[in-house]
A and B are shown apart, each in its own frame.
Chain A
Amino acid sequence: MGKLCMTLPPFSPDYSGVCSALFPFDTLTVLHDASGCTGNYTGYDEARWFRSRSPIYCSGLREIDAILGDDEKLIQKILYALEDIKPEMIAVVGSPVPMVIGTDMEGIAAEIENRTGIMAVGFPTTGIKYYPQGIAMVYKKVVQRILEEDNTQAVKEENTVNILGATPIDFGRSGTIEELTKFLEENGITVRKTLWENVKKSDVVQLKHAACNIVVSNAGIELAEYMEKEYGIPYVTGLPYGEKYADIWLAEVKKVLTGETSKVSSAAGANEEVLGSIKDSAESSAKILILGEQVQCNSIRNAIFAETGENCDVAGICGWDNRFAEAKDTFLESEAEIEQILNADKYECIIGDPLYKDLLHTDKKFCVHPHYAVSSKLGNEETRSLIGKKVF
């Protein structure tokens, strides 16, 4: 019962991460479920319906199909849909029931690709993992595959970057990615690709010509590492949040663009020379706790430190990478853990999703930073971009 949510809604799961990362691609996406999971994604985890469309289907899985493992029925439905839609790619995405009965999502996709000649990818998502794993899965199975199948040489274009790891599940309708693009371009850096809107396979191939990758969430790290290994493209993690830290972060990006190696600038200590050292002392002195996506939280921490000299602790929700964590940072895996840390005496100020307020036992200063994976549309009104702006 340790993971039961009594107050918070369930966070965006892995299949939503897959659908969200695939949304801008020219893809026919089929979620293999009875309709609840599709409804969860289309109703709560996708923020882009108001300005664009993407063909997302529900397979309409029923009890008898699950018992008999009727893969052919699903394949026929997809072939039928293909009579109307001509996508560049087909995605077959798993949910809890296919996971339990061991449906071979990758095998079904291979069979569809064999029959249609259209690139098809199966995602063994389960609904019991979180969205960053789904996004990373798309990067690995789709983006890496397209890059691997392309034989053209990578020709590095100076002063150009890609933005990796950007989906609305992390950034909602805050305008962050648009402002990040604007910020970079105003500073003489061209953004080649963001995988954020209207992506074609031919766009994916273009990724390898960038001089640097900007990784804005944990989900983008694996792809950045792959591209560094395969094409020698270094990467910088983090976002230019805050007035002062934006310049510090930009300087890091420029250093990497002029030949320095990758910078994991998200952990505060990594910017030691510029920001000063934040100690791994036995007892952290931080009075501020930031909850949310780790890369974003680290950037908020850096922004606060650059402006006030005050340290913060970060608590990751849904995804975690120890390499980007300070000694007192932690990954929270349940509502009970979130509740416990929120109410820890040492924290006087909390920065996080507005729904966490309901878990506070006493009044504390609370700065709202909506996380779409947690509060979905409920946080829309309070969401804003922190690019180059005073954070809180």
Chain B
Amino acid sequence: MLKIAVYGKGGIGKSTTTSNLSAALSDLGLKVMQIGCDPKADSTKNLVSGMKIPTVLNQIKEKGKNIKLEDIVFKGYGNTLCVEAGGPTPGIGCAGRGIIAAFEELERLHAYEEYQPDVVLYDVLGDVVCGGFAMPIRGGYADHVFVVSSGEMMSLYAANNIASAIKSFGTRGYAKFEGLILNSRNIENELEIVEKAAEEMETKIVKVLPRSGEVQLAEAEKKTVVEALPESAMAAEYRDLAKQVLEVCGHEL
């Protein structure tokens, strides 16, 4: 089982990238599980035609011990398995603790053993702000981490923070930082800026995703580009991303 965490600054296109990656991996014949780790619970929405799937935490609240896997795992495009950890209403509660509780519940219900996905993708909120948001890169969860970034300073700053967090866990034998996915915003000298930042982070750019209006067109249909516009140039870029990710993680089809 290939376990991958995708991090990055809020609004940088993590969920769009991750959903398209899931769809492209699924088109390659892989069984993919995508777990959204954000209280907003919208990571997988384009895989399930915009449906708001119940979150793990809400189901725990409602059903307690009677919760079943089918209450929290939903099939999306290409039979991708979609899960949203969920979290508190903004301004109250503890989102980090929420991620931990949701992960523990998935484990308690033997989600991975039951569905046996080939690839698990954790789509994680913004930054590693506390222990809870580091959960996906801890032992037993993701083995590989990718960070989505543009050439904008705040986005690279967040990427650097995430890289530092992964490095600080180095002696614990956790996930490996595999590189940056450049989600282009078409700012001046973007590639050079990100290449330089990657060098400073002692990593590399795994894939450059061009800026494309096809992403918005697909999102208007509440779908991934891979599903809505399979013949488009952007869908081809996401398919290439899937291949690059598999190659970097040493996964052979």
Contact = CB atoms under 8 A, between A and B. Distances in A.
B interface, over-half SS: helix
A115 B173 CA distance: 13
Contacts of A115: 171
A103 interface: yes
B96 A102 contact: yes
Contacts of A101: 96-97, 130-131
A interface, over-half SS: helix
B130 A104 contact: no
30 contacts: A69-B130, A69-B131, A100-B94, A101-B96, A101-B97, A101-B130, A101-B131, A102-B96, A102-B100, A102-B130, A102-B131, A102-B132, A102-B134, A102-B135, A103-B131, A104-B131, A104-B138, A104-B172, A106-B138, A106-B139, A106-B172, A107-B138, A107-B172, A108-B172, A110-B171, A110-B172, A111-B171, A111-B172, A114-B172, A115-B171
Contacts, number: 40
Contacts of A111: 171-172
Interface residues of B, number: 16
Interface of B: 94, 96-97, 100, 130-132, 134-135, 138-139, 169, 171-174
A108 B171 CA distance: 9
Contacts of A107: 138-139, 169, 172, 174
Give the 6 A-B residue pairs with the shortest CB-CB distance, closest first. Answer: A102-B131, A107-B172, A110-B172, A114-B171, A102-B132, A111-B171
A100 B139 contact: no
Interface in A100-132: 100-104, 106-108, 110-111, 114-115
B100 A110 contact: no
A71 to B, nearest CB: 9
Contacts of B130: 69, 101-102
A64 to B, nearest CB: 15
Given A102-B131, A102-B135, A106-B172, 10 more contacts: A100-B97, A101-B96, A101-B130, A102-B134, A104-B172, A107-B169, A108-B172, A111-B171, A111-B172, A114-B173
A111 B168 CA distance: 10
Contacts of B139: 106-107, 110
Nearest to A102: B131
A101 B97 CA distance: 7
A108 B174 CA distance: 12
A114 B130 CA distance: 23
A176 B54 CA distance: 51
A102 B139 CA distance: 13
Interface centre among B96, B135, B172 (most CB of A within 10 A): B172
A103 B97 CA distance: 10
A102 B97 contact: yes
A103 B130 CA distance: 10
Contacts of A106: 138-139, 172
Contacts of B100: 102
A100 B132 CA distance: 9
Nearest to A111: B171
A74 to B, nearest CB: 13
A105 to B, nearest CB: 10
Interface centre among A100, A102, A103, A108 (most CB of B within 10 A): A102
A69 B173 CA distance: 19
A290 to B, nearest CB: 25
A115 B172 CA distance: 10
Contacts of A100: 94, 97
A124 to B, nearest CB: 9
B94 to A, nearest CB: 8
A354 B212 CA distance: 73
Interface centre among B96, B169, B171 (most CB of A within 10 A): B171
A108 B132 CA distance: 15
A122 to B, nearest CB: 9
A100 B94 CA distance: 9
A281 B134 CA distance: 52
A103 B171 CA distance: 16
A103 B100 CA distance: 10
A207 B93 CA distance: 47
Interface in A68-117: 69, 100-104, 106-108, 110-111, 114-115
Contacts of B171: 110-111, 114-115
Nearest to B174: A107
